Amino acid sequence: MHDHPIQQQIEYYRARAAEYEEWFFRQKRYDRGPELNRQWFVEVAKLRSVLRHFQPRGHVLELACGTGLWTQQLVRYADRVTAVDASPEALELNRARVRSKHVDYVRADIFNWRSEARYDLVFFSFWLSHVPPDCFESFWRLVRSCLHEHGRVFFIDSLYEPTSTARDHRLNAPQSATVTRRLNDGRVFDIVKIFYKPAELEASLKALGWSIKVESTGHYFLYGNGGVAIKPELGEKNERTLLAPFSSRGLGKPAHSGAGAKCECAA
């Protein structure tokens, strides 16, 4: 059906762009009834409040910006936002929603992209869970390479909760690294989806030299913010390794079973 899990993931989010917000706004297949919907939006409000108090100032890089649900939050506080996504359909919807001269859009597959610029903040929402386990360290090296010396990170993602997805979706076991997703037209895609536990994710990031506090909103979401705790001593070889696109580097052992994905993917 599709050749590669990451490529299939890109194709999925391109095809899903027009219906993506049904998930976020709990519409149609994602409507879980008044009580659970209320809980969802209480936790969304919590995320917005935490981001507001975090004050994402300066030049912000948003990875996997999608249709702009969080770009529109960032642009309230940032001097400038660079928004990156592999889906031109999502970028078009983002532009239409945000309508800001302070946002620069970049179409790129993040797994084969690196920035020449440095940023005050790297932000990503519902993206880390789509990074294959054997790309986890490489991804965080990319994040580090995009930051100024005292730059910060803020991210949002999903907790393992069956009612967070569509009524006709079924989550695999929590330790799985993939899920099967169905679009409104019936097309089916297998994509990477890893559900982290806040304490375990925080410990994994600490081991990579980050000081990031990861917390839960209670039922549906996790969020993390912080920065680099340890600045590595980089020789010429390591500097090239740090900044090179994912596809040019060797990959570590997967942290979860069943990922089925490598970092080599089409640009």
210 within a domain of the structure (yes/no): yes
Model pTM score: 0.87
Number of domains in the chain: 1
20 within a domain of the structure (yes/no): yes
- Is a pLDDT exceeding 80 seen at residue 256? no
Taking residue 179's Cβ as centre, other Cβ atoms within 10 Å add up to 19
- Is a pLDDT exceeding 90 seen at residue 111? yes
Distance from C-alpha of 177 to C-alpha of 254, rounded to nearest angstrom:
10
29 within a domain of the structure (yes/no): yes
pLDDT > 70 fraction of the chain, expressed in percent and rounded:
84
- CATH classification of the domain holding 198: 3.40.50.150
Q: Domain span at residue 41?
A: 5-248
Distance from C-alpha of 129 to C-alpha of 194, rounded to nearest angstrom:
5
Distance from C-alpha of 162 to C-alpha of 154, rounded to nearest angstrom:
25
Q: From start to end of the chain, where are the E strands?
A: 59-63, 80-85, 103-107, 119-125, 147-158, 178-182, 188-192, 210-216, 221-228
Distance from C-alpha of 120 to C-alpha of 132, rounded to nearest angstrom:
26
Give 76's Cβ-side CA count (13 Å radius). 13
Q: What is the pLDDT of residue 231?
A: 56
211 within a domain of the structure (yes/no): yes
267 within a domain of the structure (yes/no): no
- Is a pLDDT exceeding 50 seen at residue 63? yes
pLDDT in tens, 242-254: 434 333 333 233 3
Residue 193: φ, ψ to 5°:
-155, 110
224 within a domain of the structure (yes/no): yes
Q: Which of 123, 133, 102 is nearest to 200 (CA)?
A: 133
Classify the C-alpha dihedral 259-190-223-104 as positive or negative. positive
72 within a domain of the structure (yes/no): yes
- Environment class of residue 186 by beta-carbon count within 10 Å: exposed (0-12), middle (13-18) or buried (19+)? exposed
- pLDDT-derived band of residue 5, with 50, 70 and 90 as boundaries? confident
Give the DSSP H or E segment for 89: helix 88-98
